[in-house]
A and B are shown apart, each in its own frame.
Chain A
């Protein structure tokens, strides 16, 4: 704060605030009453050309109002001399003006620093030393109050932009750490970077496996709808240099910031500020902070992707084991997976819900592992006991998956995929919305699959016959909304072609 106090601007600001101070005005009113009458003035420096003093002499002083300019100048010069004397003595100084009226000057000091002068003219009564002491004490208190106000305001001006920036960093952290989808994450990082730096273009490139190239992942240009995605060799151009040297590369119209984990994993490059100003050191600092957060989010997304690959690999292995050991249970065809996901999308399932549906599709008949082969492949009608065994398979399937914590949300779909919409299904006899949506979708798709695929106990029927049969059971066995979604999906040319190719090995 010492440096600021030495600043001339600070002195002027303090003096301006003092001039506007309500406390000082009140003090002048009170002291003015004790003095009979008074004209008050505040000046920074004693000088005959000071506007405040000139105004006082020319217009305000009732005695000098009608006097000639010579008299006015004499009075002005005398007053200036008195003020100078008060400044030197650093004390309240009384004086008598050329017209025989009294006044005083009080130099405003804070420590060694002289901020200006407060003066009074045209006082009709005798100014006692006691009254002067009261005035000096009050004035000092007011100056200290104004000084504190100014310092607080300065502090606020300094801290507020930093607090706003800190809040922005915190918000960015929350926004980018809330997604684990790499594409969505990189798009989000690019958009937020553009926003924070007010730039026109942002490009995010990630280092490839050979560590020789930067592969373009996202480019957003606010000026053009289409943006080119270019590979960059590490060491070339600004992003390549930022990756090579592991430090930001900044110029007037670009700023390339490396994404550093243990090694450089990529580069965020911003081009052309919207206001056409150059990128600054502050921009560089902000981007470095954002890059640190981006790295954590990118690593999390990469780890999640790896985890997801492991999970799907494990699920596929399990599904293969099921199909190998449980006769009559086949790995779901690609078309059924696709139909299930498309229905899930039509039913507005979130991304996570669609993943769960995909996993459940692969494992929905895992419980067949404990059903004897002769029951699964029996071409004739099942006995009561055999049917009971089959009815157990959703529970067994859910039990098999229960130890896998990452598939916790998949088990309800498997457990309830044989529930009927009207409550006549198994294992719990749940109705309508009591049945998880994923399970309602699975019920429709697995029935459709069973109808159009050859089974030991029945011949397959055509796609149209199968959809007709399912439609007939909408509202009883199946959720009508899911049935409607199936009908729409199966009408699609690509899905039809896929089903025909899987069934007959060709398009039809």
Chain B
């Protein structure tokens, strides 16, 4: 498993997406939906979502028409993300 340290290649966009899913852990959304929530361009969001799938932060539910992305259920990863987000935004 790839560790989620601050050193891992996580851009601001990656963090915005992680924050969205961390705050809405029951959410399953398409690249179009996520790009609306994080207010970023869809192609960039799509790539970032796939990066986060590789990091096992997100799960991809693939179908012929679209892919739905959802947050990990792994407690260790969630706890690491919690710390990462607090460190980046203490308020």
Question: Do A and B interact?
Answer: yes
Contacting residues, chain A, for B24 (C-beta < 8 A): 161, 164
Complex interface: stretch among B9-17, B61-69, B82-90: B61-69
**A167 — nearest CB in chain B belongs to which residue?**
B33
Q: Per a CB cutoff under 8 Å, which of B27, B59, B63 touches A175?
A: B63
**A166 — nearest CB in chain B belongs to which residue?**
B33
Q: Per a CB cutoff under 8 Å, which of A172, A222, A274 touches B28?
A: A172
Q: State A76–B71 Cα separation when bound (angstroms).
A: 55
| 17 intermolecular pairs with C-beta atoms under 8 Å apart | A165-B26, A167-B27, A168-B29, A171-B30, A171-B33, A171-B68, A174-B63, A174-B65, A175-B61, A175-B68, A188-B61, A195-B26, A195-B71, A196-B28, A197-B26, A222-B73, A286-B26
Residue A58 at the chain B interface, CB threshold 8 Å: no
Contacting residues, chain A, for B73 (C-beta < 8 A): 194-195, 198, 222, 274
B interface, size bucket: 20 to 34
Residue A209 at the chain B interface, CB threshold 8 Å: no
Interface residues of A (CB under 8 A from B): 161, 164-165, 167-168, 170-172, 174-175, 178-179, 188, 191-192, 194-198, 222, 274, 286
Total of A-B residue pairs, C-beta within 8 Å: 64
Q: SS class of chain A's interface: helix, strand, loop or mixed?
A: helix
B46 to chain A, nearest CB (A): 14
Q: Per a CB cutoff under 8 Å, which of B33, B64, B70, B75 touches A178?
A: B64
With A168-B29, A195-B28, A195-B59: A175-B75 Cβ-Cβ less than 8 Å: no
0 or 1 for each of B6-49: is its CB under 8 Å from A? (1 = yes): 00000000000000000011111110010011000000000000
Instruction: Indicate if the CB atoms of A198 and B25 lie closer than 8 Å.
Output: yes
Q: State A328–B91 Cα separation when bound (angstroms).
A: 82
Contacting residues, chain A, for B33 (C-beta < 8 A): 167, 170-171
Q: State A172–B66 Cα separation when bound (angstroms).
A: 10
Instruction: Indicate if the CB atoms of B26 and A168 lie closer than 8 Å.
Output: yes
Return the 3 tightest CB-CB contacts between A and B, nearest first: A178-B63, A171-B68, A195-B70
Q: Per a CB cutoff under 8 Å, which of A168, A170, A274, A286 touches B75?
A: A274
